[in-house]
Amino acid sequence: MSALPPGVAALLGQARRVVVFTGAGISAESGVPTFRDDLTGLWARFDAERLATPEAFHTDPDLVWGWYEWRRARVRRAEPNAGHRATAAIEALVPGTVVITQNVDDLHERAGSHAPIHLHGSLFAPRCVAEAGHPAAFPAVEGGQGDEPGEGRRIPPPRCADCGALVRPGVVWFGEALPGAALSAAVDAAAACDVLLTVGTSGVVYPAAEIPRIAAHSGATVIQINPEPTPLDRISAVNLRGSAAQMLPTLVDAAWKAA
């Protein structure tokens, strides 16, 4: 783990408007795999793109819903890590901090973050397939203890209580645009912040990858936390080499002292 460079804690501790932008790396430390890496066990015979498109859901909704039930159950077994908790601590340190995540899990919420912006949707916000796309009540995950619930199984999706249409996972699939309201809120927050922390993201998945760049181009200081170099190195004023669970608590502790 790299030591904090001089002055970086003061950047956060004295900031007035902060954005924390997180990617798959922060949740990987809690054991949450990416959707491609989640094709294990009986699901390994499928391609991710066969399960993560509107066409796949239209063709075989039971298969797609079964996979997402399995994924939701696995996320429920995971726990927020020190990186998620440090993110919530930043919100206490700098009131009005905006958390923007590319992750579809609920680990930020369970760690105490208030209303993070989910750019790619959420496993825990299903909606109906009708044009209006009403939010839908979340059904109980099938399956018992021990084996992963729903592994390799087709599970019929429920019907929307409002209109009777099928309920679909509330995530962004291949070929779909990011939720307009979420993307607009993320862009506005990035353009208005004075410090943006980018944590555990490769910076190559667009349009989400534009968020740190918007902040940098608007004059904000970008601080990157990632074990490996990324394309965001070029726009980051500070690159902290380490994992979120290692570096974020260290940075937050130092920032409290510098505030």
Known catalytic residue at 217: no
Q: Binding residue per annotation — 228?
A: yes
- Is 81 flagged in the annotation as binding? no
Establish whether 148 is an annotated binding residue. Answer: no
Contact 216, 40 (CB under 8 A): no
Tell me if 104 is assigned to a ligand binding site: yes
Q: What are phi and psi of 170, to 5 degrees?
A: -90, 45
**One of 84, 120, 134, 217 is an active-site residue; which one?**
120
- Judge whether 207 is annotated as a binding position: no
198 assigned to a ligand binding site: no
Query: Starting at the edge strand that comes first in sequence, how are the strands of the sheet with 18-22 ordered?
Result: 117-118, 98-101, 18-22, 195-199, 221-225, 238-240
231 C-beta neighbours (distance < 10 Å), count: 12
102 is annotated as contributing to ligand binding: yes
Q: 101: closest CA among 186, 16, 15, 193?
A: 186
Q: Are 212 and 235 in contact (CB under 8 A)?
A: yes
Name the binding residues for Zn(2+). 128, 160
List the catalytic residues: 120
Name the binding residues for NAD(+). 102-105, 200-202, 226-228, 244
Name the binding residues. 68, 71, 102-105, 128, 160, 200-202, 226-228, 244
